[in-house]
Chains A and B, each alone.
Chain A
Amino acid sequence: MNNIIRLSIVLTLITAIAAFVLAEIYRITKPQIELQKKAKTLQALQIVMPSAKLIVPVERKVDVKDNKGNVLYRKSVVEYYKGFANPDTTGLVGYAFEAYGSGYSSVVETMVGVDTTGKIGKIKIISQKETPGLGARCVENEPFTGKKWTTEQFVGKGISELKVDKDGGPIVSITGATITSRAVTNSIREKLKTFLAKIKPEHKITAEDSE
């Protein structure tokens, strides 16, 4: 009995010290990490909409409720981004949104550019924690000759074309990492579907191949 108490005290002390140190470092690094994340989003936006001079986020208010259903406050969430060719919000060049797909070992986050006709423009993978050397290759272009995965292959694709080759579509998947390729492709397809449904009434997007 005495022994168990002694072991508990030693282990509790060690974990308490570790928890304290980690909490402090988290507090110090958190604002900096968030800053880096914002810079990364901005960079990704510029990659997927290279011709846009001005990028405007389109936000939606979401109610944050407590467990009794009372509205505590309203939070604004970025739904998608609009890119304009001129700084005075004229000359719409396209849209961008973030897509999230569950991959093999992480959530793959992709910034997706959409042109004014509802086709995919450039895409950029913002964050992923897939298997190094396999799924993690989704961010790059595979160095192999012949059929290969590249983020460029999404350019100009519509909803019905967003399928990997294993599912009968035209998207070439990463060698040895079909799950990751599927996660990227399917998340973009699903998000594009809801995005086009939302945007159609407001704008004259012609998505002739909506399923």
Chain B
Amino acid sequence: MSLSAEFIKGIYKENPVFRLALGLCPTLAVSTSISNAIGMGAATTFVLVSSNTIVSVLIFILAKVLSEEGQKSVNKIRIPMFIVVIASFVTIVEMVMSAYFPALSESLGIFIPLIVVNCIILGRAEGFASKNSILPSIMDGIGMGIGFTLALIAIAFLRELLGSGAILGANIFGADYKPVLLMILPPGAFLVIGIYLGALNWLDSRKKHS
């Protein structure tokens, strides 16, 4: 696959949330408003690109230094290796953010530790970066990150609109609108994700038939 194809696939064809159904836990938690979705998406994209890069470099170095048999045995501890890399990057993001971007850290601070357990990141490290060279891994990270961000925004759009009657914090329906509390609570995320997944599958099956 070409580099641009690695980039494009994460946005629609292999969208992490809607297609691979990865990272649903943070998706449920932060898709309550669009501004949260954008911030979480940006932070996740940074960690995803960094961890993909380091993991593919790490695997490349290990392949150079170790014998074939050595590589096979080191393969057994690849998950702890990846987790150390990912957790380090998340901690770096948290420290740098609270030092130099206090406003961003104020609104996002609570979501940053969630990135460690975001299975998109471990999933891409294990499923892609560990088997590919550096450039495709970076492209994959950027594409998947943008795909994740877009999916979050799509879900947050509906939830914020119905659950708070607002878009990006700006009131849309006026003061008389009684918000649907359910949409802001976790069940609302399940409903919206389900509707989107159904709609995308319906579109796909229509395309196939025509």
- List residues of chain A with CB under 8 Å of any chain B CB: 3, 6-7, 10-11, 14-15, 18, 21-22, 25-26, 29-30, 32-33, 36, 39-40, 128-134, 136, 143-145, 175-176
Contacts and interface: CB of A to CB of B under 8 A. Distances in A.
Nearest to B175: A145
Given A11-B81, A36-B99, 13 more contacts: A6-B70, A6-B74, A10-B81, A18-B85, A21-B92, A22-B92, A29-B100, A39-B102, A131-B110, A132-B36, A133-B29, A133-B32, A145-B178
Chain A facing B: main interface SS: helix
B33 to A, nearest CB: 8
A18 B184 contact: no
A18 B186 CA distance: 35
B58 interface: yes
Given A14-B58, A22-B91, A132-B29, A32 B99 contact: yes
Nearest to B100: A32
Interface of B: 29-30, 32, 36, 58, 62, 66, 70, 73-74, 76-77, 80-81, 84-85, 87-88, 91-92, 95-96, 98-100, 102, 109-111, 113, 164-166, 178-179, 181, 184-186
A25 B185 contact: no
A18 B64 CA distance: 21
A40 B98 CA distance: 12
B84 A18 contact: yes
Nearest to B26: A132
Contacts, number: 82
B199 to A, nearest CB: 24
A7 B77 contact: yes
B105 to A, nearest CB: 8
Contacts of A7: 73-74, 76-77
Q: Quick one: which of A10, A128, A131, A134 has the most chain B CB within 10 A? A: A10
Closest 9 CB pairs of A and B: A32-B99, A29-B99, A133-B32, A18-B88, A29-B95, A36-B102, A33-B99, A143-B164, A129-B110
Contacts of A14: 58, 81, 84-85
Q: Quick one: which of A29, A128, A176 has the most chain B CB within 10 A? A: A29
7 contacts: A6-B66, A10-B81, A14-B58, A22-B91, A131-B110, A133-B184, A145-B178
Contacts of B87: 18
B70 A130 contact: no
Nearest to A35: B99
A175 B110 contact: no
Q: Quick one: which of B77, B80, B110, B165 has the most chain A CB within 10 A? A: B110
A134 to B, nearest CB: 8
A82 B30 CA distance: 39
B88 A26 contact: no
A40 B106 CA distance: 10
A6 B96 contact: no
B179 A143 contact: yes
A92 B156 CA distance: 47
